[in-house]
């Protein structure tokens, strides 16, 4: 079936149906449409974290090259020397 987004409420419902013994696992998987491996991966995540969705990383994207001090330095250089080209500014950084 390939990679696809499975909603958190569908994952949680599948876990709850299995925990409460309302349906057999094969019936649950047939209804929700994901594999046994996916179910057990979600169940492990739920048992470990209490949530069915992985927490988002706080470190997304590329790290910043400049910090605030560098930015202020660059702005001061531009104010004092507006006629400089970028290659001249980069040599000072």
CB neighbours of 23 closer than 8 A, spacing ≥ 6?
Answer: 17, 31
What is the structure's pLDDT at 54? Answer: 86
Distance CA(11)–CA(45), nearest Å, equals 11
**pLDDT tens figures, 51-84:** 998 888 777 777 777 788 888 888 888 888 888 8
The pLDDT assigned to 74 comes to 85
30 pLDDT above the threshold of 90: yes
pLDDT value for 2: 64
CA–CA separation, 35 and 27 (whole Å)? 12
How far is residue 79's CA from residue 93's CA, in Å, rounded to a whole number? 15
pLDDT of residue 51: 92
């Amino acid at each position: 079936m390939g990679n696809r987004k499975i909603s958190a409420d569908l994952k949680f419902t599948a876990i709850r149906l299995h925990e409460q013994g309302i349906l057999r696992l094969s019936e649950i998987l047939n209804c929700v449409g994901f594999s046994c491996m996916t179910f057990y991966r979600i169940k492990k995540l739920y048992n470990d974290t209490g949530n069915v969705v992985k927490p988002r990383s706080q470190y997304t994207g590329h790290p910043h090259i400049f910090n605030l001090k560098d930015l202020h330095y660059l702005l001061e250089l531009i104010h004092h020397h507006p006629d400089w080209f970028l290659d001249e500014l980069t040599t000072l950084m």
